[in-house]
Structure 1
Amino acid sequence: MSAATRPEPTPAERARSVLAAAGSLTVTTHGHRIELIGLHTVDAAARLLLHNPPDGHLAAELTMAPHGELTALVEFTDIAPVSVRERVRARLTLGGRLGALGPKTLVFHPARAVLTEDDGTTVVDLDELSLASPDPLATHEAEMLARLDAVHADTVAPLARLLPARERLGATGVRPLRLDRHGLVLRVETADSHHDTRLPFAAPATHPGDAVRGIHALLAEATARPRRRRLPTTS
């Protein structure tokens, strides 16, 4: 399968997965910039609900806002759960308005969504975002990648044999960077740069068990290949 035909999540799906997996976010209004940790949920329609932080700054500001809404910027940062160079994998920025939904909950109405990744910045269509489903591995990915990285000498090093020779040239280390239903992404680091390569599954994973089987299939394919120069897996 060529790199051009390897399946990838759409920008809306990636953004939706960031929303599903994020444990924290930052809210910026005219009066405050507040980080909320474990105080938000996303419903099935991708509607972002914020639970008032203990200091109540947002709720107090909202009571004084015209029309009962605040202009706000909500930011999410997707950080790789393993030790790699430049661990920020993506940033999702939502611009819109914040309003009340009951006495202890705020609801955010997005007007713009921007996803920034290594390969550039994408304005995500809001209708596509609301219709997109998070990747089935999104809430399991961090734990699965951490486990995979813990046994990298037995698993990740052999998987590196699946990389084209040109992508191994000058490599000083390789780490598992991303895992989604379509496959595993490895980060290959050189002395002064890095690049990411996707190893696709034969079929999309619908749950973590499928992904484990997909990784085992990739590993079987890798170990069947002739051994090349050993690729370091530590930074």
Structure 2
Amino acid sequence: MGDTQDWTAASGAAERARSVPAAAWSCAVTADGAREEYVGAHTMTGDGAVRLTVPDDSALLTAAVRAPRQEPSAVLEFADVAPVPVRGRIRARLYLSGPLVPDRGTLLLRPARVVLRQSCGPVAVDLDDYADARPDPLAGAEARLLTHLARAHPDAVERLTRLVRPESLHAATRVVPLAVDRHGLTLRIERTRAHGDVRLPFHAPADDLAQLTERMHALLAQAGAATYPRALQRQHTDGDG
């Protein structure tokens, strides 16, 4: 369940759908009754098709070779996992379904259906929009960026809470960076038994790391001038003052 902060300047469903597999390290594939999971085995083509490099003894490869017209129906599943440990770490799941075709020693799936499932529910992505979209330019670096922000700059994260409405921080025990894309930064607000997400939009899209650095500095400057008080209630362990 989201918090009360407005969600603005966010990626569209097609761009989000292209970004998930671009950043994912693994995927699960189901075809002809067989399900296999692969790590580091997929690459994306320019129009969003997925190419899988699988072992010679793969059941999926056997199914693809033996199937009528060599085109068994398959479903590829990608999980978008938050790089910083949080509750509900799966931010989204992407399902691509279509024929699985042997192609130059690999398996190629050109999506006939694209479904993006997020916390707000599933969305069927238009195939033309999906093919025309491009992954977020920060998708490949997001994990490193968020991990660095959470570990090395917790003071900056706390300062950014000045941009969050006080009611969204009510009873908060921890705030961590959940996601970043060219349009903005998302913070996860954790409470004892619940959590919510707040979007902090950039003033303009960031299409590379240099622009992202400028956008983050602008957010921090905005936070420094904000009038909202810090409302984060720190959790104390035994022995703390």
TM-score, normalised relative to structure 1: 0.93
Measure how far apart 1:232 and its partner are: 4.8
- Distance in 2 of aligned mates of 1:223 and 1:93: 41
- Distance in 2 of aligned mates of 1:127 and 1:19: 17
Letter of the aligned partner of 2:76 in structure 1? V
TM-score, normalised relative to structure 2: 0.91
Match of 2:19 among 17, 20, 33: 17
Q: Structure 1 residue 155 and structure 2 residue 156: aligned? A: yes
Measure how far apart 1:198 and its partner are: 0.8
Which secondary structure does the structure 1 equivalent of 2:186 belong to?
A: strand
Greater RCO (CA < 8 Å, at least 6 residues apart): 2
Q: Is the contact made by 1:156 and 1:233 (CA closer than 8 Å) also made in structure 2? A: no
Equivalent pairs: percent with the same residue?
Answer: 44
Measure how far apart 1:139 and its partner are: 0.5
Q: How many residues align?
A: 233
Letter of the aligned partner of 1:122 in structure 2? V
Unaligned runs of 5+ in 2: 237-241
Aligned pair in 2 of structure 1 residues 85, 152: CA closer, same or farther (>3 Å)? Answer: farther
Measure how far apart 1:31 and its partner are: 3.3
1:73-92 to structure 2, matched below 5 A, reads 73-92=75-94
Letter of the aligned partner of 2:134 in structure 1? S
Match of 1:26 among 2, 25, 28: 28
Aligned to 2:99: 97
Aligned to 2:58: 56
Letter of the aligned partner of 2:97 in structure 1? G
Aligned to 1:116: 117
Letter of the aligned partner of 2:89 in structure 1? R
Unaligned runs of 5+ in 1: none
- Distance in 2 of aligned mates of 1:170 and 1:3: 16
1:178-189 to structure 2, matched below 5 A, reads 178-189=179-190
Aligned pair in 2 of structure 1 residues 77, 234: CA closer, same or farther (>3 Å)? Answer: farther
Q: Structure 1 residue 36 and structure 2 residue 43: aligned? A: no
Q: Is the contact made by 2:163 and 2:228 (CA closer than 8 Å) also made in structure 1? A: no
Letter of the aligned partner of 1:81 in structure 2? P
Measure how far apart 1:151 and its partner are: 2.6
